[in-house]
Structure 1
């Protein structure tokens, strides 16, 4: 009986009507959940479409620079302008640029290839310079992935180079690669003496070559220009020798001005030339100043790009020798008052009547010394004495000067320092040893033969001898005449 009751109860728990009711309710619940999921999915999609992206920003021309970035602006549909600032808001305010200008920035920059001019009170380039410090997120390699639409600032940094910070615009729903070009060039200007001849003397013509990378300047600068200023010391420019390559056409693209010892080249900026080299060549003539003292020829060039200056200087040291005029019998005795002429070449070429000296009337001082400046280490020189010290005989035998031991291979030295104007200048100096033995050329003189004193025995003997000769001649004359008669 008990088993039957249990069976009846089990049959009640497996009531088909009740089971169908529960299934109907579950179907309604699932339908409601699906509806809610669809609604929420639509909402999520709408929010995603507002600010989402899935793109990769790829930077080219980075030249192994360290890259970092910051997102400055994001898309914001709740803002009437469609943008909101997420970094550097105070800097934007300082530059009087608000969200209303940001769309113009995005359009004008075109992902690093600026072509428009921002019509605000401050220039975009100045704003970007101030925003650079916010770019603290390091980029591995030359690309990074973004998932938020807006404006990004990419900052390359490399020793010895100057890069402009680059704005990158990422549209809503952007995908794939967004390619941008880093804008930078070496921050140095270089200058060389184009000739193999690095040593100079008065009258020499030096061939200089200046090389400067054409800089990148944001197009938001109004009528940008940059200058190259060259300053000579102890030399003068040969006006018609200036040649500029890589800067366009004279007058329309650049101008050349020579005022005294200063050459100024002003270049009207052309973004299509950015990154290429500008090459400037010209000739300069060494002045007589190098003969007067230890005066090297200096050539300093400074490039100025929107206030950023860099410089390079080449120094050509003239060579010298010091003449010691000494007594041939006592080399420790120095003699004053001798005079010399200096000739260029070999002694075998000397012709007293026709050879022209390069320096005349070089006078030995009271200390028995004189220093001859302005010699070219890669030339030959010789001396000819024109006047001897008092009591000494003139020796007009040409004396060849011993050429410096490093005349073929000067010893260049390069240093980088900040000058009085705050410009970092790299200076290369070409140095040679001096002529002679450790810079000294020793020239000896002998004393004149001794003459008899007035009224002495020597004079008497000469008088007697003269009288004997005269008497003998007279007697011979009369004897010959008498015999003839």
Structure 2
């Protein structure tokens, strides 16, 4: 029996602790009581840990039937009168430490209610690691029909003043770490922001998020607000291009956009509305962009409701092949580059890659991996053999991984040789070099060439001379 009582006591204690924890998670702070008011703060970013603190700045002196300034508050902060009290909430931003804090909480569900507040005015601070909010406050009282003051529950819609956009490049298996990509690959980016809230008197209610690709072109855009995926339209959002001065350009009705074209998500005024219905909700813009450059790419996000411009940078892999003569690697012997060798490159156990010739740069022949669109375009010349015109050829726009290199044609006077496989490493310097040393062919006369002709003529002359000597000696013999 004693053991049962002990177990019951432990369970009761756990229940009490759990009950206290549930109150905290429910974002209900304080206790409701007659003669007191409640103050609710909503519009905070959900699932983002936000500190919310309430400071009493004006109190009511019932004995004198007059307002009074609370701790740390000066006459320049508040203009007292019977009704209303005029308060400059901005004045309290830098003096919070001197004010009378009556309640505080850290919330993650976007809203919190503080109970048990006495008649008066309260400054409210809210902020997180990603979002800061405009100074706000409220007076929790009203006048009844009898002209007497009484507590009144109030609600404040938090208004974000700065919104931190975050941007991530999602690679294989959902990884967001640095990854090498290949030309023509479609890369997904994710932009997250916070839907803003607006003062009730705001007339210019605009919200936009802009994606700026470099070395890429946008092929698809998906927009979510909270858990709802939106369909582009007059009552939700539209995609527009962006002019050089940052203003809206022409509407974008089809994707992909042009290479390097900024794409702007502009929310419709009717969707923003006048009631801050979506305020504080997480906005997710998923952008897919195709890599068009052969060296690097970058993607930048911006918003008219945030000053930061998160950026993602990336690189593409390349293989440089140097074609040397037979002296390469030998001590005290100078080797030279050989012109005209041709090579093919293929992923290990794959087919040769098709390339597009770019041009010559610093005596290097430059090629870039052909995209699927370029392969389908008969007007663009593609090759599988890349030529080291002056001894060096560079293949750009490659992914990380192992590649097989085959010398398809050697320079004149040299033989084709095998080439070791190379591997492009995933990282900040995805480049690799293959140095190929050739073997010189021996100079032998061709069958039927000038070499045999000389020997034939010489042999004939010797035979004629021998025949002449033979007949001359025989004639002398007959005359005897």
Q: Tell me, in whole angstroms, the C-alpha distance in 2 between the residues paired with 1:351 and 1:300.
A: 31
Q: Gapped runs of 5+ residues in structure 2?
A: 1-34, 106-113, 143-148, 174-178, 243-259, 355-369, 376-381, 461-480
**Distance across 1 between alignment mates of 2:154 and 2:414:** 90
Aligned to 1:336: 338
Distance, in Å, in 1 between the alignment partners of 2:353 and 2:132 is 60
Distance 1:460-1:316 versus aligned 2 partners, 3 A rule:
closer
Task: Please provide the CA RMSD for this pair.
Answer: 4.6
Cα separation, 2, equivalents of 1:92 and 1:466: 124
Alignment equivalent of 1:188, drawn from 144, 158, 164: 164
Task: Report Cα offsets for 1:426-448 as digits up to 9, x if no partner.
Answer: xxxxx35535xxx2222221112
Q: Where does residue 230 of structure 1 map in the other structure?
A: 211
**How far is 1:341 from its partner?**
4.6
Q: Give the structure 1 partner of residue 442 of structure 2.
A: 449
The answer on whether the counterparts of 1:202 and 1:374 sit within 8 Å (CA) in structure 2 is yes
Specify the alignment match of 2:325 in structure 1: 327
Indicate the residue corresponding to 1:425 in structure 2. Answer: none
Cα shift at 1:312: 1.7
* Secondary structure of the corresponding residue to residue 181 of structure 2: coil
**Map of 2:290 onto structure 1:** 285
Distance 2:159 2:347 in 1: 54
Q: CA deviation at 1:298?
A: 0.2
1:450 and 1:262, CA in 2 relative to 1: closer, same or farther beyond 3 A?
A: same
Q: Gapped runs of 5+ residues in structure 1? A: 1-52, 107-126, 407-430, 470-485
After TM superposition, the structure 1 = structure 2 runs for residues 113-132 of structure 1, keeping only pairs within 5 Å, are 128-129=89-90, 131-132=92-93
Match of 2:222 in 1: 243
Partners of 2:408 and 2:84 in 1: CA distance: 83
Q: Summarize deviations over 1:383-405 as a string: whole Å, max 9, x none.
A: 3445534542345x6x5642235
Check the 8 A contact 1:185/1:213 in 2, yes or no. no
Q: 1:256 aligns with which of 231, 239, 246?
A: 239
Aligned to 2:410: 388
Q: CA deviation at 1:339?
A: 3.9
Match of 2:3 in 1: none
- CA deviations on 1:97-128 (whole Å, 9 max, x unpaired) are x979958x99xxxxxxxxxxxxxxxxxxxx64
Q: How far apart, CA to CA, are the structure 2 residues paired with 1:205 and 1:166?
A: 45
Task: Tell me, yes or no, if structure 1 residue 464 matches structure 2 residue 455.
Answer: yes
Q: Is the 8 A contact 2:54 2:103 kept in 1?
A: no
Distance change (3 Å), C-alpha of 1:363 and 1:280: same
Asked if the contact 2:134–2:161 (Cα under 8 Å) also holds between the matched residues in 1, the reply is: no
Q: Rg bigger for which structure?
A: 1
Q: Distance in 1 between matches of 2:102 and 2:343?
A: 70
Mark the CA change 1:152 to 1:348 in structure 2 (over 3 Å): closer, same or farther: closer
Residues 1:404 and 2:424 aligned together: yes
Instruction: Pick the aligned partner of 1:434 from 405, 421, 430.
Output: 430
Work out the CA distance in 2 between the residues paired with 1:369 and 1:72.
Answer: 76
* Aligned-pair CA distance for 1:155: 0.9
TM-superposition CA deviations, 1:311-357 (whole Å, max 9, x none): 221112111233232334543524232443544434664599xx986
In 2, distance between residues paired with 1:360 and 1:274?
58
What is the aligned partner in structure 1 of residue 388 from structure 2? 363
1: CA distance, partners of 2:204 / 2:93: 24
**CA displacement 1:168-218 (0-9 Å, x = unmatched):** 221165459766565569943222334518432222222333222323333
Task: Tell me how far apart the structure 1 counterparts of residues 353 and 261 of structure 2 sit (CA, whole Å).
Answer: 38
Give TM-score scaled by structure 2 length.
Answer: 0.57
Mapped contact 1:191–1:314 kept (Cα < 8 A): yes
8 A contact 1:69–1:135 mirrored in 2: no
Which residue matches 1:165?
Answer: 135
Contact conserved, 2:321 with 2:392, CA < 8 A, in 1? yes
In structure 1, the residue matched to 2:190 is: 209
Structure 2 Cα separation of the partners of residues 164 and 467 of structure 1: 108
Aligned CA distance change for structure 1 residues 313 and 350 (closer, same or farther; 3 Å) = closer
SS in structure 1 of the partner of residue 137 of structure 2: strand
Q: State the match for 1:375 in structure 2.
A: 398
Provide the secondary structure at the position in 2 that maps to 1:320.
strand
1:407-444 CA-to-partner distances (Å, cap 9, x unmatched) read xxxxxxxxxxxxxxxxxxxxxxxx35535xxx222222
Q: 2-side partners of 1:434 and 1:165: how far apart? A: 49
User: Is residue 230–residue 301 contact of structure 1 (8 Å, CA) maintained in 2?
Assistant: yes
Structure ranking higher in helix proportion: 1
Distance 1:313 1:351, change over 3 A: closer
Count of aligned pairs: 343
Whole-Å separation in 2 of the counterparts to 1:231 and 1:329: 50
Cα distance, 1:237 vs. partner? Answer: 2.0
- 1:289-312 deviation digits (Å, cap 9, x = unpaired): 32xxxx31101111221xx32222
In 2: Cα distance, 1:362 partner to 1:210 partner: 42
Give the secondary structure class of the aligned counterpart of 1:167.
strand
Deviations 1:352-399 (A, max 9, x none): 9xx98667644364xx54443321115x5443445534542345x6x5
Q: Secondary structure at the match of 1:440?
A: strand
